Amino acid sequence: MNGEASLLCVNCGWRGDPEELRYTCPRCGEPLTIVYEEDYLAERARELREGRGRGVWRYSAFLPFPDDVRRVTLDEGSTPLHESKQARGLRLKNEGLNPTASFKDRGMTVAVTDALRRGASRVVCASTGNTAASVAAYAARAGMRSYVLVPSGAVARGKLAQAVAHGSKIVKIRGGFDEALREVLRLVSEDSGLYLLNSVNPYRIEGQKTLAFEVWEQLGGSVPDAVVLPVGNAGNISAIWKGFRELVEAGLARSAPRMIGVQAEGAAPLARAFEGGLSELRPVDSPQTYATAIRIGRPASWRRALMAARESRGAIISVSDQEILRAQIDLARVDGVFVEPASAAALAGYRRAIAEGLLDPGESVVAVLTGHGLKDPDAVAMFGSDEVEVEPRDLTRELSAST
């Protein structure tokens, strides 16, 4: 790799050289996408099929670095694809089993590798929590100083604990994620020494697209009929769609799955835009949901998310907090997989899509479970628990079969 990749603005068509670090289009402000020269992916298809090693870097043939790049890695990816006990054809991609317990690590290993390659020593992000935890860990590993901006109110406890543990400077911004992202974008435009690790960074998308390659491999070289996943800032749906499209472009898959993005009702600007057939986003000013990871009203990658849903003949839908909670409990108590609320939106969305006829029962569907349940231990308060405290001598009676 070198020279075969360029930066593309999917909105206005601007093109640039990735060696010149940019996150957004200088003409129109759209987050930039890394694209490869025609035929390049087809030429390297064999290397992708015969990839060595595991996880994200197994697919380095489709990543924009020379093969000898110094990787910053904690062995991300290679996550299990469980069959769900809840519906025939439904599989659960358990991204909570990444190094910092969310899918963000796929993008972070690639973006922090890029930061190191460019000699960056200070990295920054705005985050609802998981990006912050991942930035904190990878920056520590790379020996960089990290700054994480989080909403002052609503960050899950586990995520904050990770940022503290890894030694980030944590700045709680009064306001929500959207305000924090706006300020961090302003900050990096004024201070070229700060490397930005939000998903407007095109290297994050390159790392996260590897989920598609992994699913394809786990299904024996085929793709599912559909992928269902939670959508917040909309980087992940853009990335996974890009991965599946590249498989098709490389001649490794005949078609790509329908992409079904799921938002929480109180933070659903993309679902509204999709349902209304709109070509512009109407941001939500004070987004609300108990799935704090996706409490986002002004998704940066909104245009690419709508493109993914429309080009794939998928959809972006919304579900209530109650449906999310129900799905979270069922994932834990029926499938044995403990996820954070945002991730449960994937199962809630699957159920909605079946009910509305967007998916047929029995179709092959992968639900992306984006983050581990231990990230947000307080959410469990709403599950209802079965616990008692007893004197030691009362234990036998307490555990007798009748109770």
Chain residues binding ligand AN7 by CB under 6 A are 102, 127-131, 199, 230-236, 293-294, 340, 342-343, 370-371
The widest CA-to-CA distance across the chain, in whole angstroms, is 75
| Residues 77, 58 contacting (CB under 8 angstroms) | yes
Q: Output 233 or 318, the one with its CB closest to ligand AN7.
A: 233
Q: How far is the CB of 25 from ligand AN7 (least distance, A)?
A: 19
User: d(Cα 342, Cα 338) in Å, to the nearest integer?
Assistant: 12
Q: How far is the CB of 81 from ligand AN7 (least distance, A)?
A: 17
Q: Output 60 or 370, the one with its CB closest to ligand AN7.
A: 370
Rg of the chain (C-alpha set): 21
Q: How far is the CB of 383 from ligand AN7 (least distance, A)?
A: 18
| Residues 150, 132 contacting (CB under 8 angstroms) | yes
What are the beta bridge partners of residue 36?
5
User: What are the Cα distances from residue 263, in Å, to 68, 93, 217, 260, 352?
Assistant: 39, 18, 28, 10, 12
Token pair 């035929």: residue: 39
Nearest to 157 by CA among 375, 368, 358, 366: 375
Phi then psi for residue 129, to 5 deg, are 140, -50
User: d(Cα 337, Cα 389) in Å, to the nearest integer?
Assistant: 26
Q: Output 127 or 250, the one with its CB closest to ligand AN7.
A: 127
**Dihedral, 365, 370, 374, 376 alpha carbons, nearest 10:** -110
Q: How far is the CB of 231 from ligand AN7 (least distance, A)?
A: 5
Q: Output 90 or 132, the one with its CB closest to ligand AN7.
A: 132
Q: Output 49 or 182, the one with its CB closest to ligand AN7.
A: 182
Token pair 């929480």: residue: 264
Q: Output 318 or 343, the one with its CB closest to ligand AN7.
A: 343
Nearest to 299 by CA among 7, 31, 13: 31
Q: How far is the CB of 131 from ligand AN7 (least distance, A)?
A: 3
Q: Output 217 or 340, the one with its CB closest to ligand AN7.
A: 340
Q: Output 73 or 128, the one with its CB closest to ligand AN7.
A: 128
* 401 CB-contact burial (10 Å; exposed 0-12 / middle 13-18 / buried 19+): exposed
Token pair 């603005």: residue: 9
Residues in the chain, overall count: 403
